[in-house]
Chains A and B, each alone.
Chain A
Amino acid sequence: MALSTIVSQRKQIKRKAPRGFLKRVFKRKKPQLRLEKSGDLLVRFHPFSGWEWVTGEVHLNCLLFVHRLAEESRTNACASKCRVINKEHVLAAAKVILKKSRG
């Protein structure tokens, strides 16, 4: 799995989707539900056979949520002319974004 895109030696972010974590969370919250598993184990085209699409999409969803949250928090912090993101900024941003993400 892609562990990280090395932007630079110091700014190393793990781009890997925490599949285990996501599955665990889902199982814990909704034990009666199942996440679809990719049945196509076509190995020859990809090294990541068995990867679950749903988990990948869930991870994408989380990424986008976090991204939006961060943007909103940043906007709030800049609006209040703080150089540091405070708890209040995050709180306000969360309210907005969670409302938006409610679907």
Chain B
Amino acid sequence: MADHNPDSDSTPRTLLRRVLDTADPRTPRRPRSARAGSCALGTLTWLWNLRGTGLERLRARRALLETASSRRLSGQTRTIARGRSHGARSIGRSAHIQASGHLEEQTPRTLLKNILLTAPESSILMPESVVKPVPALQAVQPSRRESSCGSLELQLPELEPPTTLAPGLLAPGRRKQRLRLSMFQQGVDQGLSLSQEPQRNADASSLTRSLNLTFATPLQPQSVQRPGLARRPPARRAVDVGAFLRDLRDTSLAPPNIVLEDTQPFSQPMVGSPDVYHSLPCTPHTGAEDAEQAASHKTQSSGPGLQNNSPGKPAQFLAGEAEEVDAFALGFLSTSSGVSGEDEVEPLHDGVEEVEKKMEEEGVSVSEMEATGAQGPSRVEEAEGHTEVTEAEGSKGTAEADGPGASSGDEDASGRAASPESASSTPESLQARRHHQFLEPAPAPGAAVLSSEPAEPLLVRHPPRPRTTGPRPRQDPHKAGLSHYVKLFSFYAKMPMERKALEMVEKCLDKYFQHLCDDLEVFAAHAGRKTVKPEDLELLMRRQGLVTDQVSLHVLVERHLPLEYRQLLIPCAYSGNSVFPAQ
């Protein structure tokens, strides 16, 4: 069209046309865009009819164009320009409609539609943010909104809220279209007069409604239009978890027999803990008996003392489940079963969390001897289960021969001895465990004869176990760290070990650390340093005979340390001519 507004050389219309001429043949990308485009167009015209002086419109148009061009051209030049021009064109068209009302060969509507079809979806946030500026700048806003509605990625011009709209516009464009659609339906109900396309009417009405409604509407259509966007708690099926726990226990059932013969101090307890934690809430009822079994099996190696550390905790949890969680869990399960689908997740979830918290609290308070009633029975159950198994094995051992029986008994004892240490090592990692005190009594009963085992848990059951919180800060972390190496020792040895042997290993480690520190001090002083450097370590290893001319430090690092440490210790060349770690 040749019309030019007298106040600007490049009117939106001309710009639009130019852009479209250059980039008109575009296939529509989304059908929604078409609808949105038409909706936007209708809105634009309607809004223009509602308000806007010619001057304001022109200003808005120009501002829109400028801002849009400045911001968008770099990004999505064509579409944006097209959108811009479309918007401008639509504005111009509406103005023209009011002014002259004659159509052009490329109407703003068609242009806008094309733009919308090919344009990325704009943000659904726009309506919300758009609403804010509307009251502020009625004249400009409607034009902006129109243009933005019309062209999804149209960046509203200099106004702050509109600018903020831009990113919002871009991201969830779909929502806006959906919003418009819902508004369209409402508009249809309202029966707006613009009859060229019902969608446009609806859009216009929706826009006005969004204008007036401010913040109410945007959320609703979002959730209505896109149920997927609504936050949904992860669906958890109690049965699945129960099945999983059962499988877990089944798998753990097999190993215990192996564990007895095998010196793997880090057995099920470590494994079970994460699983148990997760499955804890959801498998109360199923876990009741299995929990005891699993707990008993799991606690075999972890000692009768139970643990308050992760091995013990899951066992405790499991056993505790049998007792307390039964009430909770059954209640939860019943409620969850009563509720359907996702809803059940929430109460189950909450119930689970509560149960977890309670379990944790109980686990924690055991040290304080408060809730040991629950824990005691749970522990007792574990111990009982443990004793059952151990007694069975012990009887088996005795049946076989004295030696093997003794060895199996020793295995159990050593296993139990190892387990408290393994259990203690987990406190080190968990840090928050305050159940170290249990370890002392735990090894003690563990070391006791099997026959004394049943008496122990019985005694324990009723009175809260007086745990000495003794030299915890000093000894326990130290012991915990040592136990880490003790576990490694038993792993490397690959043979069953006595509990006393493990204690011996601890003493050796103590001495070794002492020697190590002394040597490092001497080496650092020899080099005139007060800081121990890796060179000192290398010298030490060389003197120890670990590092030789044939075997270098790096070889040792590669052999014994996991990959992450290797990366840190062995200099390696990376791209960019850089070496890490730096020499």
Contacts and interface: CB of A to CB of B under 8 A. Distances in A.
Interface string B425-454: 100110000000000000000000000000
Contact of B493 (A14, A42, A70): A70
Interface string A42-73: 10011110010110111111111111011101
B165 interface: no
A35 B508 CA distance: 23
B568 A38 contact: yes
Nearest to B583: A40
Contact of B491 (A2, A13, A73, A103): A13
B220 interface: no
B219 interface: no
Nearest to B545: A100
Given A36-B532, A69-B505, A25 B517 contact: yes
Nearest to B255: A10
Nearest to A40: B582
Contacts of A26: 517, 520, 532
A45 B501 contact: no
B194 interface: no
A84 interface: yes
Given A51-B568, A70-B489, A33 B524 contact: yes
Interface stretch (B46-54, B120-128, B461-469, B478-486): B478-486
Contacts of A13: 266, 487-488, 491
B496 A83 contact: yes
A73 B489 CA distance: 10
B567 to A, nearest CB: 5
Contacts of A15: 561-562
B560 interface: yes
B563 interface: yes
Interface stretch (B101-109, B203-211, B288-296, B407-415): B407-415
A14 B501 contact: no
B516 interface: yes
B533 interface: yes
Nearest to A72: B493
A64 B509 contact: no
Contacts of A21: 428, 477-478, 480-482, 484
Interface residues of A, number: 70
Task: Classify the interface of chain B: helix, strand, loop or mixed.
Answer: helix
Interface string B558-583: 00111111011100001000101110
B477 A24 contact: yes
A103 B581 contact: no
B407 A84 contact: yes
Interface string B504-537: 1101110111111101110010000011111011
A5 interface: yes
Nearest to B497: A85
Interface string B415-426: 000000000010
B509 A29 contact: no
B580 A46 contact: yes
A14 B269 CA distance: 13
B581 A40 contact: yes
A38 B508 CA distance: 30
Per CB-CB distance, the 7 closest pairs between chain A and chain B, nearest first, are A21-B481, A103-B543, A70-B492, A57-B537, A70-B493, A94-B508, A2-B562
Given A18-B484, A30-B517, A84-B414, 14 more contacts: A10-B264, A25-B517, A36-B534, A42-B582, A53-B534, A60-B557, A63-B485, A64-B541, A64-B556, A67-B492, A70-B493, A70-B494, A98-B511, A100-B544
29 contacts: A14-B270, A14-B429, A20-B477, A30-B521, A33-B521, A33-B524, A33-B531, A34-B530, A42-B580, A53-B569, A56-B569, A57-B534, A57-B569, A60-B541, A63-B485, A63-B560, A65-B512, A69-B489, A70-B489, A70-B491, A70-B492, A71-B492, A74-B494, A77-B495, A83-B407, A83-B496, A84-B414, A94-B507, A101-B512
